[in-house]
Amino acid sequence: MTKRFSLLGSTLVLLATFAAPSVNAQTETVLRVAMTAGDIPLTAGIPDQGFEGWRFVGYNLYDALVSWDLSRSDVIADIKPGLASSWAIDPANNRRWLFTLRRDVKFHDGSPLTAADIVWNFERFTKEGAPQFNARQFAFARAYLGNFEGIEKVDDFTVAITTKQPDSLLPYNMSFLMMVSPRRSEEVKNDADAFARNPSGTGPYRFSRMIPGERLELVRNADYWDKARIPKHDRLVLLPMPEASTRTASLLSGQVDWIEAPAPDAIPRLRSSRMQIVTNSYPHNWAYQLNFVDGPFADIRVRRAANHALNRADFNEMLGGIAMEGFANLPPSSNWFGNPVRYEFNQAKARALLREAGCMPCRVTFAISTSGSGQMQPLPMNELVKSQLEAVGFQVNLQVMDWNALLQMGREGREKHTDVHGINISRSLQDPFNGMFRFSWSQQASPRGSNWGHYSSPSMDALIDKALATFDEAQRLPLLRQVHEKMSEDAVMLWVVHDLNPRALSPRLRGFVQAQSWFQDLTPITVAPR
Amino acid sequence: MFGYVVRRLLAAIPIALGVSMVCFALVYLAPGDPVQTLLPPDADAETVERLKRLYGLDRPLPIQYLEWLWRVMQGDFGKSIATGRPVLDEILRSLGNTVLLATLSVLIAFSVAFILGTIAGRRTGTWLDRIVTGIAVLGVSIPNYWLGIVLVIIFSVELMVLPASGMAGDTFDPTSWEHIQHVVLPVFTLSMIPVGIIARTTRSAVAEVMNQEFVVTLRANGLPEWRVLRHALKNALPPVLAVMGLQFGTLMGGSILVETVFSWPGSGFMLSKAILNRDVPVLQGTILVLAMIFVTVNLTVDLFQSSLDPRIRRG
């Protein structure tokens, strides 16, 4: 009897020993995310790996002066106050913006945020020769600082930013510039790589640990200045997983709780395993920028013919419902959508337009990529475009290259590629400049900007100039809608679809609101125990 | 023997130089640009030029190459353009992970294939031989990335007994059950091709040796069959070892697909990212190291072969 009790006793002790760590482990709630990126996004400020880097690392470790309101799923996300509680144009100078900072913000290292830190960070992006200047941060920031002239500290909690030209949209650009802790940077002698290994920002998560190429772990910042956004889970684990089938298998096997972009054909399987499939419209565009100088698309009739030739519903069907028909540059939920021309599928009209333009067969060449950020499934989608265009009288040559090479072609512009009549680079459209102006403003003609095919229209330029100099939002809105309507009227691109941004979540996750944005707020998510 | 080793090592230098030069040229012959990966798609041409200057990529290619070579000779492999991390750290970490997979795969493949090949080689033309040959053909023919996905579906998704991806930690800990679980599927997937190749080589080597006169002599002298087999296998081993060495070398650099399927942070996965990003320092460094490993493995196999069979001792 005694022997039996002692056996039972030692078994219980053993069980308690093994159970103890698992009880501790259960007290910590962990959200594990599989990203599409091939590597962990840069942790030293502005991230790399495209907007996925901003989504999971940038906006979680850091804040910018201006933030994105990601709390709603029914409207396209717009900007809201971030580290700056308010901003306004200087009444005496329409090239000088004043940003008022919050007074209660602390970096993860405990140091307070002041105007001097904002100036220090801008010098990190722009001032070659400053000890904190960083070439990579310069490269990432540059796209948002094209109109930037200078910054000065007005008082401890106010900075003034001057622009080269009046720029009513500057606050949008400020939302991409992450503010790092000058104290931590100076501790590591401004070595950005050392900083990346132990970063300090102001964001809702703090850095915990990183295994390069394998995982990044962040933990809740209980002292976050925005109390409503203190994470509702303890730890966030980010795993790079570029292969779609690996992400799907990892979710199904319980290794992760959240996967980005499951393959369309895996969605029924995920649903049958009770996974939550979330989709929503967001400012993304899968389209072709056209060559307005060389070749048939210089003729508006050919551009309209191409837009009428596409049966966009077929793309949606091919992609298993994860796309939305793209009849115009912006998705209809955009505030700047207006009332654009709708290019319905009409093969007879497309043929008639081509005949009228005297382009039959109409030979065109598109440069496309095999993969790439936001490119969805470029090869089958391009094949479908080709077959639908050829059904009305086009003869399409697809020039296939890898993503890096296509980006270079996109940057160099049509001048170096006169034999190419369209390029298929998916674009983000989160603000009026990136969503419209950069494709339709003659000042943005490549290689200076993203107007790849050199579309140029004096009336469009006048509209854009006016919008940029109109600081009253209510007055600016109709101008922005007119820009979008004119883009459609002139058939500035060949529009195909907008992505619906699918992601799959474990049934254990609750509280996620999928914003109509490239960025998402992970902080409200709760993780139920297994 | 010592002179032979030194000569072989010296001969590796021009090989390494040639490989690194060809690799460097190929990266620049392909369209695309290393700084592309650092810039948002809509960065203007002026920014591209400024960044190239900041990274020293605006200078003539021969000068860039010579500078790289000079630094490498001093042990400095530079920093990755895409990640900013030191290339040597990246190589050592990822190569360590790949060596683990390759070594385990080759060891398993060799053990299994050698037994299978010996059985088939001794009984050529029988149903046993046909089964083994069938397995070998299957091993060589199945695309290993497909096999990897199928194994993941069976063992991770349906049975939920093994993890689908990753390696669970920074370095492999053989005492950790979790780490061991992560290794099983990638190793099994990777070992399928060498199983096929080594089994076929062993089969033909054993079959050939078994027909030789010395085997008949041994049998005529009344040696038991297991001792005859021991002598025969010793003679059949050199070509099998050569193939095994080559397979190890191939797995070191050639497991890109399997590493991608399993999100295994090894050198193949890293190389594929470096190619897509045109990350020249990482590409150059990794290929140089891989070339040196290939040369060393071949040399080791040669030395091993000649110790087994003095007739092929060279030099």
pLDDT given at position A347: 97
Interface contact B170-A192, CB threshold 8 A: no
User: Which residues of chain A have a CB within 8 Å of the CB of B169?
Assistant: 211
Chain B residues within an 8 Å CB radius of A449: 42, 44
Instruction: Supply the pLDDT for residue B314.
Output: 52
Summarize the confidence of residues A13-33 as an average pLDDT. Answer: 59
Q: Which of A272-276, A288-292, A456-460, B61-65 has the weakest average pLDDT?
A: B61-65
Q: What is the predicted pLDDT for the residue at B254?
A: 53
- State the residue for tokens 């230098």: B13
Tokens of B286: 């990794």
The answer to whether the Cβ–Cβ distance between A142 and B39 falls below 8 Å is yes
* Structure-block tokens of residue A82: 């971030």
Q: Which residues of B123-142 are buried (b: 16+ CB within 10 A; e: fewer)?
A: bbeeeebeebbebbeebeee
Q: Is residue A243's pLDDT more than 90?
A: no
**What is the token pair recorded at A94?**
């329409």
Residues from chain A that touch B163, judged by Cβ atoms under 8 A, are 250, 253, 255
Specify the pLDDT at position A1. 41
- Minimal C-alpha gap between A103 and chain B (Å): 32
The pLDDT assigned to B253 comes to 64
The Cα–Cα gap between A182 and A192 comes to 11
Average pLDDT over residues B272-283: 85
Whether A484 has a pLDDT exceeding 90, the answer reads: yes
The answer to whether the Cβ–Cβ distance between B165 and A255 falls below 8 Å is: yes
Full set of structural domains in chain A with CATH: 2-61+203-276+502-527 (3.40.190.10), 67-184 (3.90.76.10), 284-499 (3.10.105.10)
Tell whether B165 lies on the interface with A, counting CB pairs under 8 A.
Answer: yes
- Mutation target to probe the A interface, by most A beta carbons within 10 A, among B146, B156, B263, B278 is B263
In this predicted structure, what is the pLDDT of residue A87? 97
Give chain B positions within 8 Å (CB) of A403: 276
Which of B36, B43, B85 minimises the CB distance to A404?
B36
Q: Is there a contact between B37 and A401 if contact means CB atoms under 8 Å apart?
A: no
Checking if the pLDDT of A527 tops 60, the result is yes
Report DSSP letters for A71-101, one per residue.
Answer: S-SSSB--EEESSEEEEEE-TT-TTEEEEEE
Q: What percent of chain B is modeled with pLDDT above 70?
A: 97
- Which burial class, exposed, middle or buried, applies to B149 when counting CB atoms under 10 A from its CB (0-12, 13-18, 19+)? buried
- Residues of chain A with Cβ-Cβ distance to B279 below 8 Å are none
Give phi and psi for B271, each to the nearest 5: -60, -45
In this model, does residue A19 exceed pLDDT 50?
Answer: no
**pLDDT band for position A150 (cuts 50, 70, 90):** very high
Contacting residues of A for B31, CB less than 8 Å apart: 401, 404-405, 408-409
User: Residue A2: pLDDT above 60?
Assistant: no
DSSP percent split of chain B into helix, strand, coil, nearest 5: 75, 0, 20
Q: Mutating which of B33, B165, B255 best tests the A interface, going by the most A Cβ atoms within 10 A?
A: B165
From chain B residues 134-163, the ones with a CB under 8 A of any chain A CB are 149, 152-153, 156-157, 160, 163
Contacts of A324 (CB under 8 A, 6+ apart): A281, A316, A331, A497, A498, A499, A500
Q: Exposed, middle or buried by CB within 10 Å (0-12, 13-18, 19+), for A36? A: middle
As a whole number of angstroms, the distance between CA A334 and CA A480 comes to 11
d(CA A404, CA A381): 19
Tens digit of each residue's pLDDT (9 = 90 or more) over A371-405: 887 888 899 999 999 999 999 999 999 999 988 78
Inter-chain CB proximity A253 and B156 less than 8 Å = yes
Distance of residue A215 Cα from the nearest chain B Cα, in angstroms: 9
| φ and ψ at residue B86, rounded to 5 degrees | -60, 135
- Residues B65-82 have pLDDT tens digits of 898 889 888 888 888 888
**Beta pairing partners, A366:** A398, A422
pLDDT tier for residue B312 given thresholds of 50, 70 and 90: low
Check: CB of residue A507 under 8 Å from CB of residue A274: yes
Asked if the model's pLDDT at residue B201 lies above 70, the reply is: yes
Task: Give the per-residue pLDDT at A15.
Answer: 39
Residue spans of the domains in chain B: they are: 106-277
Is the pLDDT assigned to residue B310 strictly greater than 90? no
B32, B90, B170 member nearest A404 (Cβ): B32
Q: Taking residues B44-57, what's their average pLDDT? A: 79
Residues in chain B within 8 Å Cβ distance of A254: 160
Reported as a pLDDT band with limits 50, 70 and 90, residue B284 is confident
Q: Give the residue on A whose Cα is nearest the Cα of B257.
A: A243
Placement of tokens 């053993």 in the chain: A14
Give the model's pLDDT for residue A4.
45
What is the model's pLDDT at position B84?
79
Q: Mean pLDDT of all residues in chain A?
A: 92
Task: Report the candidate in B249, B154, B292, B132 with the shortest Cα–Cα distance to residue B200.
Answer: B132
Taking the C-alpha atoms of residue A466 and residue A479, their distance in angstroms, rounded to an integer, is 8
> What local confidence, expressed as pLDDT, does residue A23 receive?
40
Rounded CA separation A122/A140 (Å) = 12
- Chain B positions in Cβ-Cβ contact with residue A39 (cut-off 8 Å): 82-83, 273
pTM, entire model: 0.85
Q: Provide the H-helix boundaries in B30-83.
A: 45-54, 61-73
pLDDT exceeds cutoff 80 at A270:
yes
What are residue A362's phi and psi, to 5 degrees? -100, 105
pLDDT in tens, A85-127: 999 999 999 999 999 999 999 999 999 999 999 999 999 999 9
Q: Which residues of B touch A448 (CB under 8 A)?
A: 44-46
Contact A117, A179 (CB under 8 A): yes
Task: Compute CA A168 distance to the chain's CA centroid, rounded to the nearest angstrom.
Answer: 21
Chain A residue with minimum CA distance to B54: A135
Whether the ipTM is more than 0.95: the answer is: no
Rounded to a whole number, what is the distance in Å from the CA of B106 to chain A's nearest CA?
24
Q: For residue B44, give the chain A residue with the closest CA.
A: A448
Q: Which residue of B has its CA nearest to A50?
A: B40
Say if residue A186's pLDDT is above 90: yes
Checking DSSP bridges between strand A205-211 and strand A84-89, what pairing results, if any? unpaired
What is the per-residue pLDDT for A13? 43
H-run or E-run covering A218: strand A215-220
Asked whether B285 and B92 are in contact (CB, 8 A), the reply is: no
Cβ within 8 Å, pair B263-A239: yes
CA distance A214 to chain B (A): 6
Q: What is the mean pLDDT of residues A232-260?
A: 93
Residue of A nearest to B279 (CA): A404
Cβ <8 Å between B41 and A212: no
For B106-277, CATH number? 1.10.3720.10
Contact A303, A289 (CB under 8 A): no
Q: Which two tokens stand for residue A485?
A: 């309507």
pLDDT digits (tens, 9 = 90+) for B216-263: 899 888 888 888 888 888 888 888 888 888 888 778 765 788 888 888
Higher pLDDT, A68 or B15: A68
Which of A252, A316, A314, A336 has its CA nearest to residue A502?
A316
Rounded-to-integer distance, Cα B57 and Cα B38, Å: 13
State whether B41 and A425 contact (CB < 8 Å): yes
A320-360: pLDDT as tens digits: 888 999 999 999 989 999 999 999 999 999 999 999 999 99
- Quote the pLDDT of residue A8: 42
Q: Does B276 touch chain A (CB under 8 A)?
A: yes
- Between B54, B163, B276, which is nearest A404 by CB? B276
pLDDT digits (tens, 9 = 90+) for B286-299: 888 888 888 888 88
In chain B, residues with a C-beta closer than 8 Å to the C-beta of A400 are: none
Q: Do A404 and B167 touch (CB under 8 A)?
A: no
